[in-house]
Structure 1
Amino acid sequence: MKVELENPSKPWKSLDDQLALLKQRGMLTDNQEAAKSYLERLGYYRLSGYWYPFRVLDPVQAPGSKTPRRLDCFMAGSHFADVVQLYVFDKKLRLLALDALERIEMAVRVDIAHKLGRNDPYAHENPKCLHGHFSKQVKKSGLAKGKTEHQLWLEKYRSHLWRSRREPFVEHYLNNYGRLPIWVAVEVWDFGMMSKLYAGMKIADRDSIALKYGAPSGDTFASWLRSLNFIRNVSAHHSRLWNINVLERASIPTDAAYWQYMNNARPFYYFCLMQLMLKVICPNTRWYKRLAAVIAEFPESPSRAVRIEDFGVVEGWQSWNLWAQK
């Protein structure tokens, strides 16, 4: 028997149909062939996240809704080229984030390996080298019931190790020693695994690493790493970053007043955290200059449908000592 769905799937549309629909809704396309090319290469759905702010706000707010609904039609003067420029701006931000986060990940990995490896070359596998909440406290419900956070971490680690088993360095250590010491094991971790193990370290070990990067405590630094892992995942999966609502929000430093002016739900706050850490890792880096150049290129539309403030930028940010070279 054929089941009729209440909300059947939307029908497939050709590139010409997609473009016609956008024009019907008020999108101006100055160059149709270029617009079709972008739809073909990037996809209607991906680009829809960038033209969303250009859609007209519904003047009638739905009962119980905290945010206004967007209508299908576009604001007057909305150009497809503006959408593409916003996408390009976002792509540059993602590449900047990945550049910074690669350096941060490498440095913090070494910090963890050096700190834990001093006590035991296989500290990442030894519950005694880690905090009791991480290595001894078992979950009382859910799919992981009866397991500790460390056991769950080890399952993921072994999965990564299996996928990397043909790497020459992994093969060498497994064949000759049976397992990897922590300073080698870090090479098969991802950012999330690093962040999770850091949070599971003993308090004194966490605090000593946190202090190096200007965080007041290991708990604060653990929150930074969780948030930066969120930014990394968004960037690595080519998702929209520039105005995303950051779900994993980091603790706010208190060492300078300007931190209090920022919104830790906005991405700019996390670019500031990256800069704070890069000043420790790479004191002579010019990464912040590239960030400033990209921000200066923000394609603000005449309609103010998109604004650099949606990224989280605060007026006067370039005067903060965060950006000053030593």
Structure 2
Amino acid sequence: MGGLLTLMRYSKPYLTIPEQRELLERRGMTVADPAKCEEYLRRIGYYRLSAYWFPFRQLSQNPEGTHTLANNFKPGTTFKNATDLYAFDKGLRLIVLDAIERIEVSVRTEFALAMGSISPLAHRDRNNFNRRFSQFAPPRTQSMYQGWLQKLDEKAANSNEEFAEHFRTKYAREIMPIWIAVELLDFSPLSIGLSQLKHQQQQAIAASYGGISFRLIQSWIRSLCNVRNICAHHSRLWNKPVINQPAIPRRGEAPDLDHIATAPDTNKRVYATLAVMRLLLKEINPRTRWATRLKGHVATFPNDAPNISLKDAGFPDNWHQLPLWS
């Protein structure tokens, strides 16, 4: 029937490591060192590595003029092309995680300061957040705020962190103040709480980041949550479309980002995320050498591999010479 999804039966057979290598060769991939190829397949896995030979697969044209990704590889593709790209992406994820850690710690502190300025338990009063945080409609049985607070309470009651156990022991009948409780929030619920602050607290946080619009800050933090999850799960990052794309400032709103303000769909690739992280780090730690490390790593991109380019990750020409990266 029209509109119904046709279900397919999975029928691919189990393949041993040598059979996996032979399959790649039959599909047109050059394997210069079979033993090393099999070592990679055993240590990393066929499926994980397949994300890195994806750009090297051929396109086949359908009768109606559309294209389908074929199993065969483009001429000149080598197994080393895929493993070089894998190694580059692994290094990129580590550099990104380092920046996100610094940003997360900073945002956590700013959230605690903004709420703590109201009262030690300001986070337990829904009136200290935007009204929509407390609203809900059937079939939901609780508001976002109630769910957020419930998860925080569960963390406070069950966390094995030393500071949490110490607080439960010494202050058994007390509720954690926000500047302690905030340390129990994972990055995602932290970003949710941040986005629901009232205007006065939003402006205080924006001021601490050099006056960057809070509209941009909350969008960037939400986007970085997704990027962090990609890195934490060791997934491909370098050319993956970004979910929850970071908002791009209007021209002149953040001059260091003007070079991406007018480029179409620029925030759908990782470069825009890297640029946002760089801008935040300039405010958080002006002396950081993170940008230098990133530029050094990007210089190792395997440019000799056919059919891939840094443009696939959203990098503009001569990006490293822009004021943002100086």
Q: Same fold (TM over 0.5)?
A: yes
Aligned to 2:44: 42
| 2:287 counterpart of 1:284 | yes
Q: Any unmatched runs of 5+ in structure 1?
A: none
Among 215, 223, 233, the alignment partner of 1:219 is: 215
Aligned to 1:7: 9
Which portions of structure 1, spanning 4 or more consecutive aligned residues, are displaced by more than 4 angstroms?
none
Among 162, 168, 172, the alignment partner of 1:174 is: 168
Among 312, 317, 320, the alignment partner of 1:318 is: 320
Per-residue CA deviations over 1:92-113 (Å, capped at 9, x if unaligned) read 1100110000000001100110
TM-score (normalizing by structure 1) = 0.90
Cα distance in 1 for partners of 2:192, 2:123 equals: 11
| Residues 81 and 305, structure 2, Cα contact 8 Å, conserved in 1 | no
Cα distance in 1 for partners of 2:268, 2:46 equals: 27
RMSD of aligned alpha carbons: 1.8
Judged with a 3 Å threshold, the aligned counterparts in structure 2 of structure 1 residues 281 and 42 are, in CA distance, closer, same or farther, namely: same
Cα distance in 2 for partners of 1:224, 1:215 equals: 15
Aligned to 2:131: 132
Aligned partner of residue 147 in structure 2, secondary structure: helix
Aligned partner of residue 72 in structure 1, secondary structure: strand
Question: What are the residue-to-residue correspondences of 1:91-130 with 2, within 5 Å?
Answer: 91-130=90-129
Judged with a 3 Å threshold, the aligned counterparts in structure 2 of structure 1 residues 141 and 317 are, in CA distance, closer, same or farther, namely: farther
Aligned to 1:154: 149
Aligned to 1:309: 311
Aligned to 2:242: 246
Cα distance in 2 for partners of 1:157, 1:128 equals: 17
| Residues 215 and 221, structure 1, Cα contact 8 Å, conserved in 2 | no
Among 33, 39, 42, the alignment partner of 1:31 is: 33
Aligned to 1:196: 192
Cα distance in 1 for partners of 2:315, 2:224 equals: 18
Aligned length: 311
Aligned to 2:80: 81
Task: Using the TM superposition, give the Cα deviation of residue 216 of structure 1 relative to its aligned residue in structure 2, in angstroms.
Answer: 4.3
Higher mean displacement: 245-254 or 283-292? 245-254
| Residues 26 and 75, structure 1, Cα contact 8 Å, conserved in 2 | yes
Higher mean displacement: 35-44 or 180-189? 180-189
Cα distance in 1 for partners of 2:64, 2:95 equals: 39
Per-residue CA deviations over 1:1-26 (Å, capped at 9, x if unaligned) read xxxx9513422111011111001101
| Residues 104 and 281, structure 1, Cα contact 8 Å, conserved in 2 | yes
Cα distance in 1 for partners of 2:157, 2:82 equals: 42
Question: What fraction of aligned residue pairs are identical, expressed as a percent?
Answer: 37
Aligned to 1:258: 259
Task: Using the TM superposition, give the Cα deviation of residue 61 of structure 1 relative to its aligned residue in structure 2, in angstroms.
Answer: 7.0
Per-residue CA deviations over 1:290-325 (Å, capped at 9, x if unaligned) read 11111111112453x21110111011222222123x
Per-residue CA deviations over 1:22-48 (Å, capped at 9, x if unaligned) read 011011111111111111111110001
Among 279, 284, 297, the alignment partner of 1:294 is: 297
Cα distance in 1 for partners of 2:32, 2:195 equals: 52
Which residue identity lines up with residue 296 of structure 2 in the other structure? A
Judged with a 3 Å threshold, the aligned counterparts in structure 2 of structure 1 residues 82 and 162 are, in CA distance, closer, same or farther, namely: farther
